[in-house]
Structure 1
Amino acid sequence: MDPLVNEINKYLVTIFNDVLMIEEKTLQSSRFKDVSIKEMHTIEAIGMYEQLTTSEVAKKLGVTAGTLTVSVNNLVRKNYVERVRTDHDRRVVKLSLSPTGRLLYRLHDKFHRDMVRETIAEMDKDQSEILMLGLKNLHDFLERTKEQLPK
């Protein structure tokens, strides 16, 4: 294997694992210790300002609506997520974050923004754009790979 490919691969694997570990340990040691990583990613998928249906959130996360419902039920019970019926059709239920859910979302988002800022801190504009191109290529590869997975 090309030494550069090997080194980049090691960094990507380590970074992925470290981000998850840091997020999990941070949650466990905070006032949000009742939230799992899976639930945190559900909160992230619901987002700060949108009201999304269960199907829309499930699609963002790549899970079935049934699988998501278990996580949402827990987050509603823990007061991080609210189910909201729309005025124009009371049968339609949308998901939104409660005030506590929005606080957790902002703290999680800050960690990600700090991580990105630190990553590009010593780069000039051209270097940052090259990194962005590499990340876009990685994203596109992962999207194509997801499309090939069994449904």
Structure 2
Amino acid sequence: MKNATEEVLNKLLVQLFNDILHIEEKALKDTGFSNLSITEIHTIEAIGTEGNRTMGEIAHDLRITVGTLTTAINRLIKKGYAERKRIEEDRRVVLVNLTEKGREVFDTHSVFHKEMIDGILENFQGEDLKILTKTLSKASRFFEKKYQSL
């Protein structure tokens, strides 16, 4: 059986993950982009506004296969949020960009993230903020190593 600390940490991590996901879904429904899933929003976020990202780069950032990404990009293209092009020098390389509509989604989602961070910053200052940042950084490194080992 788990000890009390393990149970609390497990509950907190699961609750944080679920809460953020549900808040994101609710915020999405309140925008004009309700025809997008959270996964599609995150794909748009990974494509970014700089443009000309390769399928491999985007798939790496999302931690999915290029095949899975291809399906997601096809849906975003069909909905008018992204576009794909091949470069003339090497037709095997596929670049992905957001359309104007895709950039609007990106910007709207960025506002959501800024509001979330601003809310956290209202509740943590000084030493508490340093401890939170250090702790989340350690947790992030742990999960990154875990992902790399898979």
Misfit runs of 4+, over 6 Å: none
> Identity across aligned pairs (percent)?
38
TM-score (norm. length: structure 2): 0.87
SS in 2 for 1:121: helix
CA deviation after TM superposition for structure 1 residue 107, in Å: 1.1
Aligned amino acid, residue 118 of structure 1? G
CA distance in 1, matches of 2:145, 2:48: 25
SS in 2 for 1:10: helix
Give the aligned partner of residue 12 of structure 2: 11
Give the gaps of 5 or more residues in structure 2: none
Give the aligned partner of residue 52 of structure 1: 53
CA deviation after TM superposition for structure 1 residue 129, in Å: 1.6
SS in 2 for 1:34: coil
CA distance in 2, matches of 1:13, 1:100: 33
Give the aligned partner of residue 144 of structure 1: 145
Q: Is the 8 A contact 2:27 2:112 kept in 1?
A: no
Give the gaps of 5 or more residues in structure 1: none
CA distance in 2, matches of 1:75, 1:82: 8
Q: In the TM superposition, what whole-angstrom CA distance separates every residue of 1:69-99 from its partner, at most 9, and x where no partner exists?
A: 000001011111111344x626132111111
CA deviation after TM superposition for structure 1 residue 2, in Å: 4.0
1:96 aligns with 2:65: no
Q: Is the 8 A contact 2:82 2:102 kept in 1?
A: yes
State the number of aligned residues. 147
